[in-house]
Amino acid sequence: MDTVTRFLERRDALLTRLDEQLQETDSAHDAAWVLCEYTGRELNLGDCVMYLPTSGDILVQAAAWGPKRGAERMLESRLRLSIGRGIVGECALLLQTQCVDDTREDMRYIHDDQPGLSELSVPLSRDGILLGVLDSEAAETGFFDSRYQQAFEAIAHIGAAHLWRLRNLAVVRR
């Protein structure tokens, strides 16, 4: 049985564990790292990146699993994207999952450090407000099927609830 099928079969217990890990976070940055590491590890991905929105309609890479990750919770380089630009940016703009089977055939694809041939980008949002984007690229075409989309969307749902909590907590602290 492959990793994603095993994850989906054990989804409730695994997502409860993710929820507990996210409960321990006290910033969006910390939550981004937990989400990236969790998704990369549980789904055995070669690459996973979490983007967080900043002021001015910009998305910035906040956490990574795989080759972009340098030392513990440090990124080798941070890609910044305008909302609406690239596959990730369009995911953020539309608040809709984007799954690309072959990035060579998609004009939206933006080459980063390690080029991928397929990409899955899932928004984290609440009440129509963008809270982040969870993104992964794979070295083979057609890698991300509906099972991966289902797993990413379940993880994003839990992540969005915590990013919303942290966003509101930050407003109260001001």
Question: Is 37 among the domain residues?
Answer: no
Question: Is 5 among the domain residues?
Answer: no
For the chain, the domain total comes to: 1
170 pLDDT above the threshold of 80: no
Question: In sequence order, what are the beta bridge partners of 82?
Answer: 58
Question: Is 22 among the domain residues?
Answer: no
Distance CA 145, CA 122 (A): 13
Q: Which burial class, exposed, middle or buried, applies to 150 when counting CB atoms under 10 A from its CB (0-12, 13-18, 19+)?
A: middle
Question: Is 71 among the domain residues?
Answer: yes
Question: Is 62 among the domain residues?
Answer: yes
- The 10s digit of each residue's pLDDT in 68-126 is 554 455 555 578 899 999 999 999 999 999 999 999 999 999 887 677 899 999 999 99
| CATH code of residue 164 | 3.30.450.40
Question: Is 120 among the domain residues?
Answer: yes
More reliable by pLDDT, 76 or 31: 31
Q: Which burial class, exposed, middle or buried, applies to 32 when counting CB atoms under 10 A from its CB (0-12, 13-18, 19+)?
A: buried
Question: Is 101 among the domain residues?
Answer: yes
36-51 average pLDDT score = 95
Question: Is 51 among the domain residues?
Answer: yes
Model pTM above 0.75: yes
23 pLDDT above the threshold of 70: yes
Note down the domain range covering 85. Answer: 44-173
- Specify the pLDDT at position 75: 53
Distance CA 36, CA 12 (A): 19
- Specify the pLDDT at position 71: 46
- Specify the pLDDT at position 76: 53
